[in-house]
Amino acid sequence: MYKVILISLLVIFILSCTAGPNEFTTQKGNDAGFFKGFWHGLISVVTLILSLFTDNISIYEVHNTGFLYDLGFLLGAGTLTGGTLWSRRKRR
């Protein structure tokens, strides 16, 4: 029963991460910042897979604040991929 609930929650999480339309523009103050970058980094794997099948989805937001967006994206992607891979310990 535990595995069924875990798999169901994982499927719901993955489906809820699908990318939406581009809501940011080149107007000042309407750029993606740190938290949007972090979120985009977290869902980057799902977005990569979806971008293979459609042309209007991209991994990286082009209208961003620069360094803060990049930092958030890097931390988000690192949390999902690098952080979990390096946290495992070798068993003797």
Domain membership flag for residue 76 = no
* pTM exceeds cut of 0.75: no
Please check the confidence at residue 67 and state whether its pLDDT lies above 80. yes
pLDDT of residue 41: 85
Domain membership flag for residue 58 = yes
The residue behind tokens 């999480």 is 13
Percent of the chain whose pLDDT exceeds 90 = 0
Please check the confidence at residue 70 and state whether its pLDDT lies above 80. yes
Domain membership flag for residue 59 = yes
Domain membership flag for residue 21 = no
Domain membership flag for residue 49 = yes
* Domain limits for position 40: 30-63
Render 14-70 in DSSP notation, one character per residue: HHHT--------SSTT-SB-HHHHHHHHHTHHHHHHHHTT-SS--SS-SSB-SHHHH
pLDDT in tens, 19-53: 555 566 555 666 778 888 888 888 888 888 878 88
pLDDT of residue 77: 83
Domain membership flag for residue 41 = yes
Number of domains comprising the chain: 1
pLDDT of residue 17: 61
pLDDT in tens, 78-87: 876 665 555 5
Please check the confidence at residue 8 and state whether its pLDDT lies above 70. yes
